[in-house]
Amino acid sequence: MLCLCGSLRRLSSNRAALQAAQQLAPPTLQLVLYDGLGALPLFNPDDERDSLPLPVLDLRRAVGTADALLIACPEYAHGVPGAFKNLLDWLVGSLEFPGKPVLLLNTSARESHHAQAALVEILGTMSAQLLTPQPVSVGLPGAGCSAAQVLASADRCAQLRFALDLLAASSLAPSSPPDALGL
């Protein structure tokens, strides 16, 4: 499973949630955190016709080999952060992304919903197999929290374990739509 963090911040709460999920994951569910968001060049469709930049090839390779994607993305000014939208733009024309099982985490304690709704729309347009119609909510204490702070809360751990169970179920039946998984 590939974890995609939508934030470039060094002390990102979204990254902390994904790191906590890595620690909570059972041995049968390997979560890998993608760390190339900041290295991606700005999307230009002309670059898809020529040779793709190495960071884009690495991204597409990571997505292609992943059984599913776990995405934790913040909301900036009621939208998806530009760097993360850029990542998604590089995947639009790829052969690796369509049909990929995707689970969204909403880590906002205020349950921000604008970026999450936009992500659901964007990912649906990109032919993702969304594992739930709405993101799994894992309300974190605020910007800059650590994985240890996430793991210190039994409620947050339970929410992340629920998300991990959904991911594990998707890997058991990768070609099944979410309805077939009982979601």
pLDDT score of 173: 59
Q: Domain count of the chain?
A: 1
pTM as predicted:
0.91
Task: Supply φ then ψ for residue 79, to 5 degrees.
Answer: -145, 180
Q: Note the pLDDT of residue 183.
A: 42
What per-residue confidence (pLDDT) applies to 146?
92
Partnered with residue 70 across adjacent β-strands are 3, 103
CA distance 1 to 163: 12
Task: Calculate Rg over the CA atoms of the chain.
Answer: 15
The CATH number for 25's domain is: 3.40.50.360
Where helices occur in the chain by DSSP H, the ranges are 13-24, 45-49, 54-65, 82-92, 114-125, 147-151, 154-172
Distance CA 161, CA 29 (A): 12
**For residue 45, how many C-alpha atoms fall within 13 Å in the half-sphere facing its CB?**
2
Q: Identify the pLDDT of residue 182.
A: 44
Tallying the residues shown for the chain, one arrives at 183
Q: Which domain holds residue 44?
A: 2-181
Element (H, E) at 105: strand 101-106
Splitting the chain (183 residues) into consecutive groups of 10 residues, what average pLDDT does each group show?
94 94 95 97 88 95 97 92 97 95 88 88 97 91 86 95 94 51 43
- pLDDT computed for residue 50 by the predictor: 74
- Beta carbons within 10 angstroms of residue 129's beta carbon: 20
Please give the structure tokens belonging to residue 75.
């909301």
At residue 141, the pLDDT reads 76
Q: Cβ neighbours of residue 12 under 8 Å, at least 6 residues apart? A: 5, 74, 143, 144
Query: What pLDDT sits at residue 111?
Result: 64
172: tokens are 């058991």
